[in-house]
Amino acid sequence: MTGQLKELIRKEMLIVLRDRQTIMLLFLMPVALIFFLSLAMEGVWTDKLTGRKIQLVVKNESASFKAKLLEQKIKADPAIQALDRPDQDNDLILADGKTQLVVTIPEGFETGNHPVELYFEPAIDAGYKIAARSLITSLAVEVVMDIDNLEAVMQALIVEKTKPNRELPTPLQQTVPAYAIFAMFFISIPLSIGFLKEKNDGTLQRLFTYPVSTHLITLGKIIPYYIINILQFILMLLVGVFIMQHFISHAFYLGEHPWQMIPVTLAVAAATTGFGVMIAAVGRTQEQASTLAAVSAVLMAVFGGIMVPHAVLPAVLKKAAVISPMYWAHQAYLDIFLRAAPFSGVAPKLIVLTIFAVICFYIAGRRVKWI
């Protein structure tokens, strides 16, 4: 039996490796998605968590000591990136996209008769606008009231008790597992096409005439794709850890228990290959199977927090996400990378993925004799 299974696996591996374009797609597609979408998400991550610097232009129309002191405080603040003012009026500066905020310190500022003027770009993000206004206001109060450090004074009155982020992943924590999972589910296309091709040319029928069980034949076809899935994730992980760090400012933190990726990846690979076998059993033609697999994978990705981080999805989509196995797979990885969850916290996701795989294999098993 071991020899038969080994030959079946060898046969399937030769068939898979012969289709070089598909193999390249399975490995290059997630690499490209990780690369470009990590770069795209870096700005979102900075805005949401680390806080981007407030870029502004300062125009000081007063020669008074306090006006000059305010200008110095604004330009020296670590949360501010002061830009050189071009020789244009405020409207043109904002329209050209050179900055999103122009700060004007007018004559008479120090007397309280003429307040500091803020000119915001009309399309600026509301949260960014509030933060910029609050910061400039606190610096102006420091200067007018002769307070050395208003923030230090406020710390005695207000203490932040916010828990550390456990929901919004960094760009790499989001994209590496997300698009590795996405690509792993795309294994259903070559897997289902291979099944149906052998059905149409009579290869499966000939195999069934040999003294080999149906389950052994099915296992011989599944194992190569299962191995490819695991290799896909390993490659994506290596890309995230060793390559993307040269292109993105946020490092890929693997969490306190990175070994938990092993059972998670094994469970995800089982779910993806089970999904592929089910597509092969349900699809009647190669075209139907490939279309069904691709559309299903994209829909599961949309609902599962793959395309957009689950933490920023609308409430309705957050609830709908639980129908997608990609959601459970991705959240299992985020439990490891982001939340430092013990294995008991990851285990429920593994159970869901295992149940999904069992259901897929059961459906395929009920129909495999007709393949």
145 plus 191 within the same structural domain: no
- The C-alpha atoms of residue 264 and residue 115 are separated, in whole angstroms, by 58
Region 136-155: mean pLDDT is 73
Is 57 in a helix, a strand, or coil? strand
pLDDT at 144 over 90: no
The verdict on residue 259 lying in a domain is yes
The verdict on residue 340 lying in a domain is yes
Residue 300 confidence (pLDDT): 93
41 plus 81 within the same structural domain: no
In which residue are the tokens 């490819």 written?
228
Nearest CA-CA partner of 245 in 4, 39, 25, 8: 39
27 plus 130 within the same structural domain: no
Q: Domain holding 81: CATH number?
A: 3.40.1710.10
Residues in CB range of 310: below 8 A, 6 or more apart: 304, 318, 321, 327, 330, 331
Residue 135 confidence (pLDDT): 83
Which domain covers residue 133, as residue numbers? 53-155
User: For residue 166, how many other CB atoms are within 10 A of its CB?
Assistant: 13
At 57, phi and psi to the nearest 5?
-120, 130
Is 107 in a helix, a strand, or coil? coil
278 plus 131 within the same structural domain: no
pTM for this entry: 0.74
pLDDT in tens, 286-331: 888 888 998 999 999 988 989 888 887 888 888 889 999 999 999 9
pLDDT band, residue 371 (cuts 50/70/90): very low
322 plus 305 within the same structural domain: yes
pLDDT at 369 over 60: no
Helices (H), the chain: 2-18, 20-45, 65-76, 90-95, 126-144, 150-155, 171-185, 188-200, 203-209, 214-238, 261-282, 286-303, 315-320, 325-337, 343-367
Residue 47 confidence (pLDDT): 55
pLDDT band, residue 157 (cuts 50/70/90): low
**The total number of structural domains that make up the chain:** 2
Q: Among 126, 155, 184, which residue terminates a domain? A: 155
Nearest CA-CA partner of 141 in 118, 104, 116: 116
- The C-alpha atoms of residue 197 and residue 203 are separated, in whole angstroms, by 8
In which residue are the tokens 């071991």 written?
2
Residue 324 confidence (pLDDT): 94
42 plus 64 within the same structural domain: no
344 plus 328 within the same structural domain: yes
109 plus 201 within the same structural domain: no
The verdict on residue 116 lying in a domain is yes
Contact yes or no for 257/343 (Cβ under 8 A): yes
**pLDDT-wise least confident of 114-118, 138-142, 159-163:** 159-163
pLDDT at 159 over 70: no
The verdict on residue 352 lying in a domain is yes
Region 164-170: mean pLDDT is 73
pLDDT in tens, 188-231: 888 888 878 877 777 766 766 677 776 777 788 888 889 999 99
pLDDT in tens, 330-339: 999 999 998 8
Higher confidence at residue 2 or residue 37? Answer: 37
pLDDT in tens, 266-283: 999 999 999 998 998 888
Helix (H) or strand (E) holding 304: none
- The C-alpha atoms of residue 31 and residue 244 are separated, in whole angstroms, by 10
190 plus 339 within the same structural domain: yes
Residues in CB range of 357: below 8 A, 6 or more apart: 267, 270, 271, 273, 274, 275
Nearest CA-CA partner of 137 in 65, 67, 70: 70
Q: Among 100, 128, 155, which residue terminates a domain? A: 155
Region 356-371: mean pLDDT is 78
What the block records as the tokens of 31 is 């690499």
The verdict on residue 163 lying in a domain is no
198 plus 174 within the same structural domain: yes
Higher confidence at residue 230 or residue 364? Answer: 230
63 plus 150 within the same structural domain: yes
pLDDT band, residue 48 (cuts 50/70/90): low
The verdict on residue 162 lying in a domain is no
Residue 281 confidence (pLDDT): 84
Nearest CA-CA partner of 297 in 191, 219, 217, 182: 182
Region 90-115: mean pLDDT is 78
Residue 335 confidence (pLDDT): 93
The verdict on residue 277 lying in a domain is yes
Contact yes or no for 346/335 (Cβ under 8 A): yes
Is 219 in a helix, a strand, or coil? helix
The verdict on residue 346 lying in a domain is yes
Q: Among 155, 177, 211, which residue terminates a domain? A: 155
Nearest CA-CA partner of 176 in 27, 328, 31, 29: 31
pLDDT in tens, 255-264: 889 999 999 9
* Percentage above 70 pLDDT, the chain: 87
38 plus 183 within the same structural domain: yes
pLDDT at 240 over 80: yes
Nearest CA-CA partner of 224 in 59, 363, 26, 31: 26
**Distance, C-alpha 344 to centroid of its chain:** 24
